[in-house]
Amino acid sequence: MKKMFLALAAASLVSTMAFAQDDYDYGDDYGTEASTSSDDGYTDMDSGDKATTEEKPASDVEYKNMDEGKKVSRDEGTKPAFFDRPFNMAAHIALGYGSFWSTPDQYDNATWRQAYGMDSNPYDEWLGYSVAFGMAFNYRIMDILSVSPEFNFGIRGFIRNLDSYYSYWYDTYVEVNEDIFMFDIELPILLRVMPTHQIYFEAGPQFTLKLVANHSVDYVDSYTDETIYSDAKGSWECATFFASLVIGGGATLDLDGKLFDIGLRFIMDMTKLEKDDTEMPDLDGSTFKDETKMWTLQLVVKYWF
């Protein structure tokens, strides 16, 4: 019995030692595998950290600086050089339509016109035109505000064709072809406001020096087509210096790196067309001054160098 117990005890001890050895080996294996996995995992994690490091700067400061750099670069890509330079020059041309304002009431009075041999208001039914061309300049005070003077040569003209009306002066029906031509130097000095890089508004005075002023008229008999009076001469003694008010606006277009302005401009003369000492007789024996002035609406195009 005792021998049997000893044998069982010995067998139990051997089994326990064998199980412990197996468990130890498994633990070694597990530890080895865990170590290998840990090494691999560490390598993967390190790779992930490197990838993350490449995508994002090491600090928030660096990240913000990079972001600000992108914004500056983005602005520079859309901001024309016109806004980076304090001074710019442009070629300028304008085409326009014009007429008269502030004409005397007497010119609309048929009795007054008949008394002085006039068959119509001398400022009615005119087709006015204007052309201006020259150089424009722009000095930038701040990003949205600048001063923009110009030096232009200007042409203003008016054409009137009165068809077949009765002339008391010639006692027949006549057709009148009349033409006014003026050549001058124009100096607008405008304040320019640009709330955005694409839109601008402008306003200011314009000073005009009249160099040439011609007024020609032809009276043609409506029945015979013969010219019964012609005055194609020359000089018209109108005012030589004009002050005007200019207001306008438009768009600045960037076309493949070339900058253009396209806009509208309204010019209202503050100086009357006739000279200050020119007086017209009234029916009651008194005199009055002709206060007629001109206005012009122009389409303006500029090319900024």
pLDDT tens across 176-212, in order? 888 899 999 999 999 999 999 899 999 999 999 999 9
Within-domain flag for 74: no
Instruction: State the chain's mean pLDDT as an integer.
Output: 78
Within-domain flag for 69: no
Same domain membership, residue 236 and residue 104: yes
AA identity, residue 18? A
Burial 191-221 (b: 16+ CB within 10 A, else e): ebebeebeebebebebebebeebebeebbbb
State the virtual CA torsion across 265, 271, 272, 275 in degrees, nearest 10: -140
Count of structural domains within the chain? 2
Within-domain flag for 26: yes
Question: What is the phi/psi pair of residue 22, to 5°?
Answer: -60, -45
Same domain membership, residue 97 and residue 45: no
Q: What pTM was estimated for this model as a whole?
A: 0.68
Tell me the β-bridge partners of 109. Answer: none
Same domain membership, residue 138 and residue 263: yes
**pLDDT for residue 251 is more than 80:** yes
Residue 151's domain comprises 86-304
Same domain membership, residue 97 and residue 14: no
Same domain membership, residue 49 and residue 99: no
Same domain membership, residue 98 and residue 14: no
Proportion of the chain above pLDDT 70, given as a percent: 72
Within-domain flag for 63: no
CATH code for position 102: 2.40.160.20
Same domain membership, residue 158 and residue 266: yes
Same domain membership, residue 129 and residue 45: no
Same domain membership, residue 195 and residue 127: yes
User: Which tens digits make up the pLDDT trace of 16-58?
Assistant: 555 445 544 444 444 444 444 444 544 444 544 544 445 555 4
